[in-house]
Structure 1
Amino acid sequence: MSRRLQPAGSLRAYFGWRLRHWRRARGLSQAELGARLGYGDSHLSKVESGDRWPPPDLPDRADRVLDTGGELAALWPLVERERQEGPGARQVEAIPPSTPSSPTAPEAMEALLAAYHEVGSQLGSRDLVVPLEHHARAVVQWQAGSPEPELGRLAARFAQLAGWARFDGADYSTAQFWYTCGLHWATLADDRDLMSRLLARQSSVHWSVGNAAGAIALAERARLVEGTRPGVRAWACLAEARGHALAGDRHSCEQRLDDAASLLAAADPRTEPWAAQSVLALAMGTCYRDLAARDNHATLATTAVDHTTRSLAAVPTMNEHDRAVVATRLASSHTHAGQPDEAASVLTTLLSPFSGPHGSARVRAEMRVVHTQLTEHWPTVGAVRELTDLVRTHLPN
């Protein structure tokens, strides 16, 4: 795949490209790799070209033979998810190269990107996906038609935000594809911070679909990118901590949380606005909630409540979408702590009145999970029954 990689095709095609990359990096022909894996070179050729789905046993075996560090196995759950979506899965034609309409067009796009970030924090992605991807594709066209590294960096940043918009809409396959394209452009521009951030974003996708191994592997790659700022390394540590929590490894999780706390203390919030203590508190709350969920550990869940409450208090009132994300996580923590009244109260506040930020498919999905847990364990609690009435109205399946 050339430097003109486009956010098009499918994760199946991306998997094939990465398989080809590693095969060539190890100096093997398709016939040689096929012999080691037990597949004919024709079969392998079709997997590499994206014309055939990779067999379920291929990723792990190829990782071992090619010494990829687990990359193909990390990609596999999302490739399989795309396969299960069937013929309707996203297929997009490649975008032809073009040039900016004026010398100041890239600066205008920079300003627009900043505005999208601000609106996303306040309203979420629901009303942003279409215009954001429209403008992202314009920047991608410029990048494809120019050797300028700044355009590659701008394309990578738009890809990162487009990936987030799809992620917030629970469209994880498309989110992952935007992130992989952005990583390619960030690598070409040698933007180490952006490379690490995009790897951490990919880790979050795997965490969201329950793939702890993939989340850990990608976050570790993000953490090991050399030359990144403290806040960026902290972000990677937090992603890795979430992966370890999902896997039930409390020791490794807390080690990465401690690393993140030290790095955040050294970060400059003026140049790294994401490096906020509220982000650390939310990650800690999420990690302890996931650890508590695995072992039905009420004490850990109470710790999760404390951290998540602190995070919610630090989120600006105007950032309604971000507050909805944190509040839903808080309700989940209350549930695992055996506090149904508190959990139901948090969700009731979010659903009364029902408003725009909760149009986020990701938030809605988390709300439904919490509600299901509440009705399974405390169906007769008054606050839970009241919440159920709101859920039927505002969160239909």
Structure 2
Amino acid sequence: MTGPAGADGAPWAEFGWQLRSLRRAAGLTQLQLGLRVGYHHSVVSRLEAGLREPPVGLVRRLDAVLETGGELAATVAAPREVPRRPGRFPADPALFTPLPGVDAPAGQGAPDSGMWPARLPAEGLACPLHGTAGCAVPDPGELPALLDGPGPAGGPAPSWGTGTGAAVAEAELLHGLTAVLACLIREAFRHEGRVTAVEGLLRTLARWAGEVNSAGRLPYGQLRLGAQYAQVAGRLRMERGQIGVAMAWFGHGLRWADAVQDASARATLLSDMCTLVRLDGDPSLMLGYAQGIGAVDARRRWMATLSDLYQARGHALSGDAAACRRHISLARRGFARLGPQDHLEAPWMAGAEGAMRVDSAIGGALRDLAVATGDRAAARRAI
């Protein structure tokens, strides 16, 4: 996409222009299209005017009815440029819209101190302020003070950043909440209830971000960390088969990542959305999101490799053997060319773990292709 707004300033102007063009080419009125996709024609009108973000489910139905081959999904998945903001300029208040589900009860977030990380990054989570610089985290014994003191869990956040001590307190809190998320990721494999803890802290973090934003300052660290929490919450919901809630969390994560121009978060969130729609058996929407991963930043090889892996699976679902194999070859070549910077940004694609992930994804694509086409050779290769 060329940007978040067209010449008229509408935030989804390019999507609206594309939808209008496809609708007219299909010979449909707004009323007819609305009836076919199960939405009121006024929704179609607002979408074509670029005045609202298109719901994921509606995009899927529009692509199917208009027989676009996933064009609209690809447009939605493409990165939306967000103007660089001065450090104290607030974000769009629409970022802090109501979150999925309900508030979690208190006392759900205490992690197992035995799983506490020494430094960040941990479990693939970088510091929301300093990236992969290797930040130390507070001692786990300080956690109750961090969560119960001024800020997210203890009521309205003060105007941090007005002095050196206050800025340090905010950084420590962000470090601590990142360490908590790392613990909860490790514990999620053993404790079913950890999704409640993740979502409870995520809501608290979102309230904190909204308060910082209302004070006239971009909540940069809070939004970056919020995108990470949203991704974990979405994954946990997806593992439980709660597709709608998972997609809602991924959508919030994407908006927060865009607001602070976090390219890595956008790419990995889109990859999770690919997985979600693959489970739902929708190859066209999956291809749209997969192409969106590659469009985030063409200079990052790990993103291109990830994009090819998911495109291979999308083409496999649709039974396109030639396209599936082509993207498998591209993914293998891309993985072999990953460098130190790629491994730093995407440590899960480095070494033996990365090789296992790539082989697993390729095996899955070949399996899906064998199911779609009855190709026994593809089935043997998958095994």
Aligned residue number for residue 326 of structure 2: 255
TM-fit CA distance, 1:286: 0.5
Identify if the C-alpha distance between structure 1 residues 283 and 58 changes in structure 2 by more than 3 Å, giving closer, same or farther.
Answer: closer
Q: Secondary structure at 2:254's aligned position in 1?
A: helix
TM-fit CA distance, 1:228: 5.6
Aligned residue number for residue 112 of structure 1: 180
Rounded Cα–Cα distance in structure 2 between residues aligned with 1:109 and 1:70:
37
Question: Counterpart amino acid of 2:195?
Answer: V
Give the one of 335, 346, 349 matched to 1:272.
346
Rounded Cα–Cα distance in structure 1 between residues aligned with 2:56 and 2:252:
20
Aligned residue number for residue 264 of structure 2: 193
After superposition, where does 1:61-100 map in structure 2 within 5 Å?
Answer: 69-71=71-73, 92=101, 98-99=156-157
Identify if the C-alpha distance between structure 1 residues 285 and 160 changes in structure 2 by more than 3 Å, giving closer, same or farther.
Answer: same
Rounded Cα–Cα distance in structure 2 between residues aligned with 1:139 and 1:216:
32
Rounded Cα–Cα distance in structure 2 between residues aligned with 1:93 and 1:126:
17
Q: Secondary structure at 2:71's aligned position in 1?
A: coil
Aligned residue number for residue 240 of structure 1: 311
TM-fit CA distance, 1:22: 4.3
The structure that is helix-richer by fraction is 1
Question: Counterpart amino acid of 2:41?
Answer: L
Aligned residue number for residue 377 of structure 2: 299
Rounded Cα–Cα distance in structure 1 between residues aligned with 2:282 and 2:62:
14
After superposition, where does 1:175-214 map in structure 2 within 5 Å?
Answer: 175-214=246-285
* TM-score normalised by length of structure 1: 0.56
Rounded Cα–Cα distance in structure 1 between residues aligned with 2:298 and 2:74:
26
Checking the alignment, whether the CA contact within 8 Å between 1:159 and 1:179 is kept in structure 2 is yes
Work out whether 1:286 is the aligned partner of 2:364: yes
Checking the alignment, whether the CA contact within 8 Å between 2:101 and 2:245 is kept in structure 1 is no
Count of aligned pairs between the two proteins:
266
TM-fit CA distance, 1:168: 1.2
Q: Secondary structure at 1:236's aligned position in 2?
A: helix
Checking the alignment, whether the CA contact within 8 Å between 2:231 and 2:253 is kept in structure 1 is yes
After superposition, where does 1:1-397 map in structure 2 within 5 Å?
Answer: 21-22=12-13, 26=17, 36-38=29-31, 43-45=40-42, 59-60=62-63, 69-71=71-73, 92=101, 98-99=156-157, 102-103=169-170, 104-120=172-188, 123=189, 126-146=192-212, 147-226=218-297, 229-265=300-336, 266-268=338-340, 269-275=343-349, 276-305=354-383
Identify if the C-alpha distance between structure 1 residues 229 and 114 changes in structure 2 by more than 3 Å, giving closer, same or farther.
Answer: farther
Checking the alignment, whether the CA contact within 8 Å between 1:285 and 1:303 is kept in structure 2 is yes
TM-fit CA distance, 1:251: 1.6
Q: Secondary structure at 2:307's aligned position in 1?
A: helix
Question: Counterpart amino acid of 2:380?
Answer: T
Deviations 1:88-143 (A, max 9, x none): xx9647999953895221110111122233334xx177332111111121222222
TM-fit CA distance, 1:25: 5.7
Q: Secondary structure at 2:347's aligned position in 1?
A: coil
TM-fit CA distance, 1:199: 1.4
Rounded Cα–Cα distance in structure 1 between residues aligned with 2:59 and 2:211:
37
Aligned residue number for residue 134 of structure 2: none
TM-fit CA distance, 1:264: 2.0
Q: Highest relative contact order (Cα 8 Å, sep 6+), 1 or 2?
A: 2
TM-fit CA distance, 1:244: 0.9
Rounded Cα–Cα distance in structure 1 between residues aligned with 2:205 and 2:257:
14
Q: Secondary structure at 1:163's aligned position in 2?
A: helix
Deviations 1:301-329 (A, max 9, x none): 12111xxxxxxxxxxxxxxxxxxxxxxxx
Larger CA deviation: 225-234 vs 276-285: 225-234
TM-fit CA distance, 1:174: 0.9
Checking the alignment, whether the CA contact within 8 Å between 2:309 and 2:361 is kept in structure 1 is yes
Identity %: 21
TM-fit CA distance, 1:212: 0.7
Rounded Cα–Cα distance in structure 1 between residues aligned with 2:315 and 2:33:
37
Larger CA deviation: 233-242 vs 166-175: 233-242
Deviations 1:13-59 (A, max 9, x none): xxxxxx98348964999xx99x9423699943467689x99989972
Question: Counterpart amino acid of 2:368?
Answer: D
* TM-score normalised by length of structure 2: 0.58
Structure 1 vs Structure 2 CA RMSD: 4.3
Aligned residue number for residue 145 of structure 2: none
TM-fit CA distance, 1:206: 0.7
Give unpaired runs (5+ residues) of structure 2.
Answer: 1-9, 47-51, 78-98, 105-151, 161-168, 213-217
Identify if the C-alpha distance between structure 1 residues 57 and 148 changes in structure 2 by more than 3 Å, giving closer, same or farther.
Answer: closer
TM-fit CA distance, 1:165: 0.7
Deviations 1:330-371 (A, max 9, x none): xxxxxxxxxxxxxxxxxxxxxxxxxxxxxxxxxxxxxxxxxx
Rounded Cα–Cα distance in structure 1 between residues aligned with 2:70 and 2:375:
36
Rounded Cα–Cα distance in structure 1 between residues aligned with 2:206 and 2:339:
31
Q: Secondary structure at 1:145's aligned position in 2?
A: helix
Question: Counterpart amino acid of 1:278?
Answer: M
